[in-house]
Amino acid sequence: MVISKGNINRIFETGLGRGELYIFCCVLTWVAYSLIGKAVMRSLSPLASVSYSAIVGAVALSVPACFEGLFQNIRNQSMLEWSCICYLGIFATVIGFVWYYQGVQRLGPTKAGLFINFVPVFAILCAFIILREPITLSLVVGTALVISGVYLTNRTSN
């Protein structure tokens, strides 16, 4: 709905772009992260699991970061940039991922993973508030579909 701006034929006419492919790959890696996390949390707490995954991620990302000039640019960063990095590290990574893994423990990876669908909804809201991006009808319909889908898959049957 959102990608085609309400016209599903548009996908068949123009195809999917690189961004859509990246999003699909993100979904696949998130599924893997959730399933691996459930297995790991049989013996580790959510905080320990996130800590180990953050270490693995930092090591993996350090290689391309070095090619992008990590060590040359690190001392040129402003206090605002360091504050943003700390914010991302503490809130978006540690707290967010620990809460997510707690959700995986309580709900299981399938139900907890459904809530990742809210990321684009909040991205749309942030783009509207911060960047003054317009909210189109297809975005509203897409948001309604996400909310409905998460609700329907998490509701308990009577």
Mean pLDDT of the chain: 83
Q: Where are the domains of the chain?
A: 1-40+108-158, 45-107
**How many Cα atoms occupy the beta-carbon half-sphere of 48 within 13 Å?**
7
pTM of the model: 0.60
User: Residue 137 carries which side chain, given as an amino acid letter?
Assistant: L
Quote the CA–CA distance of 48 and 98 in Å, as a whole number.
Answer: 9
Tens of pLDDT, residues 45-97? 888 888 888 888 889 988 998 898 888 888 888 899 899 888 888 888 888 88
Tens of pLDDT, residues 102-113? 888 888 877 887
Supply the pLDDT for residue 80. Answer: 92
Which two tokens mark 25?
């790959």
Please report where in the chains the tokens 């579909």 appear, as a residue. 145
